[in-house]
Structures are given as structure tokens and as C-alpha cells.
Structure 1
Amino acid sequence: MIQLEFLDHVALRVSDIHRSADWYASVLGMQVVQPDEWKPFPIFLLAGSSGIALFPARTETPQPLPQGDWIKGDHYAFRVQLPMLETAKQHFNKLGISYQEQDHTYFRSIYFKDPDGHQLELTAATRPLPDAA
């Protein structure tokens, strides 16, 4: 049986990798990493054990991401402590970033989008999940 440790990173295609790297650093406080061996891309962003690899979209006219229940990456969630949700909402309000809140019974979340429309989530546990079946 394969034993996974954690999801290491997701790779996103974006219209402007430098703009996106700046956005993820300033909005989510992620650390920007780009060793010389990787230039000109990807640009890697780190937060704890999680990462995002940014790659340029390979089109002159990027199309918006499809909405709805299509086969696609739906959203990318980052775990935070519950008090951090309030901090994030204040930060987003200052930056003019719109978000939606949702109570998932065991988690509270806020959803928002990056400059290319990728759906992101900050989620915090409010109580333990029931034991797995």
C-alpha cells in the first residue's frame, strides 16, 4: 500500500506568473522560491508543507475558467486556525478582495479567487470529524 505523507503542491497555469506570485505573496503570505535552475519558470510558492507551482498559460488570449460542475480542478483549500479566518476577512476587506463564507458543520471556510479566477479556500476546523467508517 502506498503511504502518502501530504499533498506537496498544485500546479496552476496563470496569465502572468510574476503578477500571480506577487498576489499570492501579498494576499496569502506565501514565500516565493525560484532557484536559478528553474528559471524562467515555474515560480514556486510555499506555506508550511503546501506549495503552488506557477506556470505560464500557453495562449495569447487566455480563456476564463469554466464555471459549474465540469471535470476540472474545483478549488484549492488551505487549512488555518479558526481565529485566522477573521484576520483573513479583515485583510481581504482592506485589499478589496471579495469572498464568500460557508459553514460546513465541522469546518468554517471562506472562498475567494486569484487574479486568474482560480477558486481558493481558507478552512478552519470547528470540531473533530466523526471517525472514519
Structure 2
Amino acid sequence: MDRINTEFELRGVNHVALVCADMRRTVDFYQGVLGMPLIKTIELPNGWGQHFFFDVGGGNALAFFWFPDAPDAVPGISNPKTVPDQGELVSAVASMNHIAFDVAPERIEEYRDKLVAKGVEVGMILNHDDSDFGVAPGWTEDVYVRSLYFKDPDGVLVEFAGWTRALDRPGDVGHEPRTAADRNV
């Protein structure tokens, strides 16, 4: 199985940029609650807003724009209405559904407890596997990633996820990609 990009030498994700309603609240959450160092702040020209960057480890960053005239989020369109285990996961085409930060899978319970202690509403721990529903009741050899979901103050769906095995089993890549014609709209 060849997994080398022969077109571009990509080194990972430099940053993902989201939009927030309140930069101070965003800094308080990502730096204060999640502990991500604020590494760069930019005041955009012409009163267009701000652009701030947080270090998420591994040379990667999470960025936020604050625009004074940004429209409000519309849950179920711009972002999912709830965390996956509490309802819906759907969001609109071209929206960002969620951001997942890589964590050690054996620390998921500890991190859930820490978030709850900080007052963050957190979904249940999910052990993702290839069963019909896609979630196992516990951590087994068939679980490929363990995760938990929560939302930031603007409703951005955030996930802590930890791979539990290499993704190299015969069934790991085997689904035919769906097309726009398959949509229910």
C-alpha cells in the first residue's frame, strides 16, 4: 500500500483558521482552558478585524479570525447542532464540521475529567470501530481511535482523538466514494 504523496511534499497542517464572535472569549478558552499558547496576534488593516494563532503542538497551529461584521453561526448549517453522541453531526457543504486534536488514547478519560472540572460540557468517550454503528462499548483490538467531543464558546465542535492502531488493515480503505448525485437534497 503506497502512502507517499508523489505530487507535493506536504509536512502536515500548518494551521486551520476559524471565525469567532469574541476574540477575548476565544483566547480565554483555547489558552486558559485548553492550555494552548497564543503565538501570534495580528490586527488586520482597514478595521477588517483580527487574526490570532495558537500552538497546538507538533509545529501546528489553530487560528481564529474576528471580523466586526461576521454573520452569526447557524447550528446545523455552519456547524453541528450538538456533540455526536447527543444528537446530530451534520453541517453544510464547505463548513468545517469539527477540529480534532491528537492525544494519547490512554489519557482520554483523564482529559475528559479535566475538561469537566473546568466547566466544559463534554460528550461520552467514543471507541470508534468498524461495527455497524461505528462505536464499540469498550476499548477492544478492533477500535482504531478513541475520542471525546466538546464545543468551544462559539459552538465549534472540538475533538480529542487518539489512534489506537495503525490504519493498515485490509478493510481500512474499502468504501466507494459517494457523489453529489447521492445526496438527499
Does TM-score exceed 0.5, indicating one fold? Answer: yes
Structure with the larger strand share: 1
State the match for 2:15 in structure 1.
9
Instruction: Flag structure 2 segments of 5+ consecutive residues without an equivalent.
Output: 1-6, 45-49, 81-89, 129-142, 174-185
User: 2: CA distance between counterparts of 1:54 and 1:69?
Assistant: 19
Which structure has the larger Rg over C-alpha atoms? Answer: 2
User: 2: CA distance between counterparts of 1:94 and 1:75?
Assistant: 23
Name segments (4+ residues, structure 1) moved above 4 Å: none
State the match for 1:59 in structure 2.
69
User: What's the % identity of the aligned pairs?
Assistant: 29
User: 1: CA distance between counterparts of 2:18 and 2:71?
Assistant: 16
Task: Indicate whether 1:126 and 2:178 are aligned.
Answer: no
Question: Given the two structures, how large is their TM-score scaled by the length of structure 1?
Answer: 0.86
Report which stretch shifted further, 51-60 or 79-88: 51-60
* Counterpart AA for 2:56: A
Q: 1:5 to 1:26 in 2, by over 3 A?
A: same
Query: Which of 101, 110, 119 is residue 148 of structure 2 equivalent to?
Result: 110
* Counterpart AA for 1:39: E
User: 2: CA distance between counterparts of 1:58 and 1:29?
Assistant: 26
Task: Indicate whether 1:21 and 2:27 are aligned.
Answer: yes
State the match for 1:42 in structure 2.
51
Provide the aligned length of Structure 1 versus Structure 2: 131
State the match for 2:139 in structure 1.
none
The 8 Å contact of residues 78 and 122 in structure 1, kept in 2 or not, is answered as yes
User: 1: CA distance between counterparts of 2:104 and 2:71?
Assistant: 39
Higher RCO, 1 or 2 (CA under 8 Å, sep at least 6)? 1
The DSSP-based 3-state class of the residue aligned with 1:128 is coil
State the match for 1:98 in structure 2.
121
User: 2: CA distance between counterparts of 1:97 and 1:90?
Assistant: 10
Question: Given the two structures, how large is their TM-score scaled by the length of structure 2?
Answer: 0.64
The DSSP-based 3-state class of the residue aligned with 2:12 is coil
Q: 1:8 to 1:60 in 2, by over 3 A?
A: closer
The 8 Å contact of residues 64 and 117 in structure 1, kept in 2 or not, is answered as no
